[in-house]
Chains A and B, each alone.
Chain A
């Protein structure tokens, strides 16, 4: 079974731009969660989508948004990029029917903001 895939793997943007990251979950998984990983803060939860609805949200500003499509693929968008948004963005998928289902992570998208 193919794992979680994320595209692109690397991105370089400048301050003020916006960016869209994509995540394809494991086949059959309906929940997709997004996390931001930085050396200073570690892994922090951004939001979770299940059946095209945002089910949970972390403490990030409104510049961070996401959506999920009917095939469970998800995108996250960051508008008006700031230097501090440089991070590894990780997507995780799970079956989603129970919230205790294991989350499996993709390889991440490395975003650099200049």
Chain B
């Protein structure tokens, strides 16, 4: 069975303090790894898709990387508005089923 584990569960940063979130996975046949951001009471918002080991994607203060066993979401010089729960999900097998990790709850303080 596909498994996705995210760490840490919660992370508190000072504004400007860079850090990384981890998503490790055990799957049979990874077809894509997705990062989403979710604010309280809202649906997940798409951030990145990574398809193969070595791939990197960047958007503003966020950078996602992928290896054969895990993905990292690097946050550079975060701001309070980056506070949210970050979810990673893997696409395996057939069809459109995403298997999600339980998320990392990030809080950035002034």
Q: Once the chains bind, are B97 and A48 in contact (CB under 8 Å)?
A: yes
Residues of chain B lying within 8 A (CB to CB) of residue A31 = 96
Which residue of the partner chain B has the closest CB to A54? B95
Q: Tell which of B19-27, B39-47, B53-61, B70-78 binds the partner.
A: B39-47
Judging by beta carbons under 8 Å apart, are A100 and B98 in contact?
Answer: no
Chain B at the A interface: mostly helix, strand, loop or mixed? Answer: strand
Interface residues on chain A, size class: 20 to 34
Asked if B94 is an interface residue, CB under 8 A from chain A, the answer is yes
Say yes or no: B97 contacts A56, CB within 8 Å. Answer: yes
Taken together as a complex, chains A and B put the C-alpha atoms of A31 and B96 apart, in Å, by 9
Q: Are A102 and B46 within 8 A (Cβ)?
A: yes
Is A64 part of the contact surface with B, judged by Cβ < 8 Å?
no
C-alpha gap A113/B89 in the complex (Å):
28
Q: In whole angstroms, what is the CA distance A72 to B91 when docked?
A: 22
